[in-house]
Structure formats: C-alpha cells, structure tokens
Structure 1
Amino acid sequence: MAEPVRILAAGSLRHALPDIAAAFEETTGIPVSLSLGPAGLLRERIEAGDPFDLFASANMAHPRHLVSIGLAKEAICFARNRLVILARAGLGLTMENLVTVLSAPSTRIGTSTPGDDPSGDYAFEMFDRLEICHPGLGDALKTRALQLVGGRHTPAGRSAAALIAGGAVDLFLGYASNARLHEKDPDLGIVDIPPEYSPNIEYGLVLRNGAADEAVALRDFLMSDHAEQLLVRHGFESRVGAGP
C-alpha cells in the first residue's frame, strides 16, 4: 500500500477536506493523512521540521512564507471564504446597525487569535477597515475583542456557538463556512459584513519541495472542479477571481 500523503491544513477545512480526501483516495487509491490546526501554528511546526507533503492555509501569507524560505514551492489559491458574524439572536444585530452594536461598550466581541490563526487576522483587518471609516472605533474594538480560540494558549475544542451559548461573548467574527452550520439554530443569527469592511479571504496551498508524485496528484486534485464543488458544498466560495 502506498504511503499516505501528509497534508497539514487549517482547522476551518475540517469538514470539507475529509470529503475531498475520500474522493481522491477513491479515484486514485492513494491514502491521505490529515492534520488540522490553526494555520499559523501549523506553519511554525513545518519550519521546526514537522514532516508534511502539502500545506493548506486559510491565508496566502503562510504558504508564501514557506516558499520564501525554500521549504515549499508555488503558493496557489485553491478556495475563498467570507468573514461573517455569528451572534446571539437576542442581540438584534443586522448589517444596518452593525456599527452601532459594535460601538456599544457592553457588546462582548469574540475572535480567533491573530498571528496564530488567520481568522483572527481577518477580524483585525475588519477592525482596521472600520477605523478608516469611523476613527477610534477600530482601535477600540482591537482592545475589547476577546481572543478565545485558535491560539497557542487557548483551550482546544471551543466553538463560537458554544462561547455565545455559554455567555462568554455576544457575537463572534468567523468564517461563513463555519457559521453556516448554525443556520437553523433559533438562538443564533448570521450577519453578513458590509463590503467596505469585509476582508478578502483566500486559502493558499503549497507543495513540499521534493514531494512525491502522489502528493503532486493530491495538489492537482485539490485544484480540480470536483474538489471545488465539494468546497462550495461546505460553504466555501469559488477560487475564480482570486488574486495571484
């Protein structure tokens, strides 16, 4: 039996990638070994010598960094996502009152951890965009935001929905692909972010230098129409129109 192709991947791919790996194995007979986690921490593991064949990140920066230091080649965008807000229904949050609700000091805001997890970086990019339009607000939100998941020092297994249900926060900034899992929960609402505040979210993929043909085959499969259809089914967006 062939050695598994080792892929380290962003935790937000935890529902989509097993389906893609299963389809790849069914098509090729090549097994896949999948390890998930915050992309920034996975990149650090790779730099420290952890074995891998492919790295799938929730941003382009981490893959490009591995290319720049000679550990991988050709960072490519294979999927896109959106930042949305998952909020307790009683908060009454809408796109129209977003700035007002966020401005209230009593509103408890949750994010992932910037630096360790791209989701946190995207949330803070949103705050930067708010700062441009509403001076003082973005900086205040960075100070008030509770970085509760995705970090090297945060407990594993926490979810945005659980944090909201437990009263830790009133809302959480995260990926649309995750929030969609709670579409039918009457206690939660999903609110889109106005385009002027919304960061561009691209998922990047790199192949280890010297990777075997089996890893190349998985990389190519991840760029196929079949894989893209599976990603879209799991709440991601088409890579069409993504930047280089």
Structure 2
Amino acid sequence: MNDAVHVLSAGSLRHAFPAIIGVFGQETGIAVSLTLGPAGLLREQIEAGARFDLFASANMAHPQRLAAAGLTEDPICFARNRLCVLARADLGLTTENFLSVLSAPAVRIGTSTPGDDPGGDYAFEVFDLAEARYPGKGESMKSQARQLVGGRNSPPAPPGKGAGYLITDGEVDLMMSYYSNARLLEQDPSFSVVEIPGEFQPLIEYGVVIRRDADMETRHLRDFLLSARGQQILSEAGFSPAGQSERA
C-alpha cells in the first residue's frame, strides 16, 4: 500500500478508525494504511523521521509540538473523550465514594504510562486535581498507581485476553480508562464502569495534524474526519463531537 494515506493513530481510536477508513474508502476509493500505538511514542517516531501523512493523537500537546517543529500543519481538535474507572464489580466503587476508595492504601490502581501515552497523563492529572482539593488524597492515589500499559516497555496483552484482563487476572482492582474503551464492558457483570467526579475530570481533546505539503488524498481524509459523517462514526464509538466538551 505504498500509495495509501499513512495514518498513525492513538490506540484508543482502535474502535473508531477502522470504521472511518472503511466508509471513507467506499466514498472516495482512497486507500489508507493504519498504525495504532501510544500517541507519545508515535510522536517520537515522527520526530525521528517515520513515514506518515496524518497523525491522530489523544491529546493536543503532541500535535502542537510537531507543528511547532515545522513537521506538520496546525493541529485541529477533532473529538473529545472522558476518563472513567473500570473496576471489579465487587469493589463497590461509585462516583460518590470515588475519593475514599481510590485513596485507600489497599486499593491497587492501574494506569497507562505518562509521557508515552496521554491516557497516563490524564490519569495523573486526576490525581493532581484530587491532591489540590484534598491534600494527601491525590498523593496516596499516585503512590498506589501502577503504570501497566501504553509504555515503551509495557508487555502486550496476552492473546485471547479481554480489555479488563489486568482486573480479572488480579493484577489491579481498577483501571483508569477512557470511556470510549470502558463502555464496551458495561454489560459485563465482572466490571463496573464508574464516572469520575466532575471536579477531578481532565479535559480530553484529540488532535489531528497532517504533514507539511500533504497531498489532496490526505486532506480529504482529514476533512472527512471533521465532517458530519466522520463525527457520527466517532460518536458511535463513544467519543464526543469536537464542539462538545466532556468536562463537567
């Protein structure tokens, strides 16, 4: 697929981008190759010279850095998400007892890896927001957090394991998760999907950039992502439209 539009995309878009590419290809006949991974590591690959046409990140910071370096055009926010908690059902976690449960010394918290993956950055932002309002609570959460996924040294998920395998395998009691991912386990009785209180909810904006001197095919894909049809597909995958904030 040497003539395809080369897309590097945050892994949290894995349930959205294949559908976007499918509809886009049907409408335009343009081929797209897709590589998924932690957005921070993808940004490093781009900075090191990796081939790409379009980069979709789970934050705005990575696209902004590429634009500032002159590697891409200016970034555009194309979707929003929110953070929630995927917990084992018998933990008894609710939005109301979020602070007391997560700061309890015995609770094992799983997160993605800050720096490498925006999901980890957002999780630690939750802890910082909790610490600012309730001194000691956020630091307790940080001390109990284990950075288990989304890092350059994170092991891949075992074959055949579902998204909540770290909880069902007993590694952690809960995972800080994007809602777009956690919602897929809402009907599973083994888990609870719990909203984070609004006062601790980070603003999660997804940014897209295209390389400098991008061809028309790449521009068509970016425009489709921002179109009503593209936004509908993102909404169906658990994201919010670019113009709608998930922050309480």
TM-score category, normalised to shorter length: over 0.9
Instruction: Report the Cα distance in structure 1 between the residues aligned to 2:163 and 2:148, rounded to whole angstroms.
Output: 9
Q: Which TM-score applies when normalising by structure 1?
A: 0.97
Q: Alignment length, in residue pairs?
A: 243
Aligned: 1:176 with 2:170: no
- Higher mean alpha-carbon deviation, 41-50 vs 96-105, is at 96-105
- How far did residue 241 of structure 1 move? 3.9
SS of aligned partner of 2:148: strand
SS of aligned partner of 1:36: strand
Instruction: Report the Cα distance in structure 1 between the residues aligned to 2:137 and 2:163, rounded to whole angstroms.
Output: 23
Instruction: Report the Cα distance in structure 1 between the residues aligned to 2:182 and 2:244, rounded to whole angstroms.
Output: 23
Whichever residue aligns with residue 52 of structure 1, its letter is F
Which blocks of at least 5 consecutive residues in structure 2 are unaligned?
A: none
Give 1:33-112 correspondences, 5 Å limit. Answer: 33-112=33-112
Whichever residue aligns with residue 124 of structure 2, its letter is F
Equivalent residue number for residue 198 of structure 1: 201
Instruction: Report the Cα distance in structure 2 between the residues aligned to 1:148 and 1:2, rounded to whole angstroms.
Output: 35
Equivalent residue number for residue 237 of structure 1: 240
C-alpha deviations, 1:78-137, integer Å up to 9, x for none? 000000000000000001111111121100000000000000000000001000111011
Equivalent residue number for residue 146 of structure 1: 146
Aligned: 1:12 with 2:12: yes
1:226 pairs, out of 221, 225, 229, with: 229
Instruction: Report the Cα distance in structure 1 between the residues aligned to 2:22 and 2:51, rounded to whole angstroms.
Output: 21
Which blocks of at least 5 consecutive residues in structure 1 are unaligned?
A: none
- How far did residue 232 of structure 1 move? 0.5
Aligned: 1:212 with 2:212: no
Instruction: Report the Cα distance in structure 2 between the residues aligned to 1:160 and 1:180, rounded to whole angstroms.
Output: 11
SS of aligned partner of 2:75: strand
SS of aligned partner of 2:30: coil
C-alpha deviations, 1:118-157, integer Å up to 9, x for none? 0000000000100011101112222220000000011123
Is the CA contact 2:107–2:144 (under 8 Å) kept in the aligned structure 1? no
Instruction: Report the Cα distance in structure 2 between the residues aligned to 1:76 and 1:169, rounded to whole angstroms.
Output: 36
Is the CA contact 2:103–2:138 (under 8 Å) kept in the aligned structure 1? no
Equivalent residue number for residue 130 of structure 2: 130
Runs (4+) off by over 3 Å = none
- How far did residue 196 of structure 1 move? 0.4
Q: Report sequence identity in percent.
A: 58
Instruction: Report the Cα distance in structure 1 between the residues aligned to 2:221 and 2:208, rounded to whole angstroms.
Output: 11
- How far did residue 210 of structure 1 move? 1.1
- Higher mean alpha-carbon deviation, 166-175 vs 132-141, is at 132-141
